[in-house]
Amino acid sequence: MQIKKTDSGLLHSCMYLLEEKGHAIVIDPCRDLSAAGDSIVDYLLITHEHYDHISGVNEWKKKTGAPLLCSRVCAENIRNSKKNMSRYFNIFCEMQTWVPTDGMKIEQAEYVCEADLTFEDEFTFEWQGHIVTLQETPGHSAGSCIIYLDEDHCFTGDSYLENYGTECRFPGGSEKRWNMIGKPWIEAIPAGTRIWPGHFDSFIK
Ligand SMILES: [Zn+2]
């Protein structure tokens, strides 16, 4: 198993490519399509609906034909340029307190994409001898989830970053739902798990 990280170029959000036996899963696809190499991409997964984590979904779908899997709420929100924040991306950049924005200004784009498979609460599937589990963790956004790869790795999007609290101020975010639902699932991640966050480097919980 190989895990490759690519900087999306948007707020330094992370795209991850999981590779096993010539097959791949892409988490939070950005517009850099070179990462997959010759692997057959079986699934596209997203940790949440914010633009910096979905900016390459349409390109990856077109190139690979792989289905996009995310939570039902996330699927609704990626269809809407207000809810995925692409319409307000420059303002969004200014509001981010946990990542350097480098004075980033992008071309104002209204971006939408479509999910192919959705789940509610939790969903588990087998992939190339591994177990992949998606668990909804609303709070940072309504459609947030974390993604386990076996028991060793967890891809946490913006629900869990090292050294930063979880930001719940954006539209669709909710401190209340975070405290009631999202946060307990983060606390339940076993100590010793390798965390692959939506921004910055991986770390051990
Ligand atoms: Zn986010």
Ligand 1 centre and the CA of 173: distance in Å? 9
Ligand 1 centre and the CA of 157: distance in Å? 7
Q: What is the pLDDT of residues 187-205, one digit of tens each?
A: 999 999 999 999 999 999 9
pTM for the structure as a whole: 0.94
Instruction: State percent of the chain over pLDDT 90.
Output: 80
Mean pLDDT, rounded, for 4-27: 94
Ligand 1 centre and the CA of 87: distance in Å? 14
Ligand 1 centre and the CA of 66: distance in Å? 23
Ligand 1 centre and the CA of 205: distance in Å? 20
Ligand 1 centre and the CA of 141: distance in Å? 7
Q: What is the CATH number that goes with domain 2-204?
A: 3.60.15.10
pLDDT bin (cut points 50, 70, 90) of residue 138 is very high
Per-residue CA distances from 49 to 29, 30, 52, 81, 102 (Å)? 11, 13, 9, 10, 22
Ligand 1 centre and the CA of 38: distance in Å? 30
φ/ψ of residue 154, rounded to 5: -140, 125
Q: What is the pLDDT of residues 70-103, one digit of tens each?
A: 999 999 999 999 999 998 887 777 766 666 666 6
pLDDT bin (cut points 50, 70, 90) of residue 132 is very high
Ligand 1 centre and the CA of 99: distance in Å? 11
> Are the beta carbons of 5 and 198 closer than 8 angstroms?
no
pLDDT bin (cut points 50, 70, 90) of residue 105 is low
Ligand 1 centre and the CA of 140: distance in Å? 7
Q: What is the pLDDT of residues 19-45, one digit of tens each?
A: 999 999 999 999 999 888 899 999 999
Which positions ≥6 away from 111 have C-beta within 8 Å? Answer: 51, 54, 55, 81, 84, 86
Ligand 1 centre and the CA of 46: distance in Å? 11
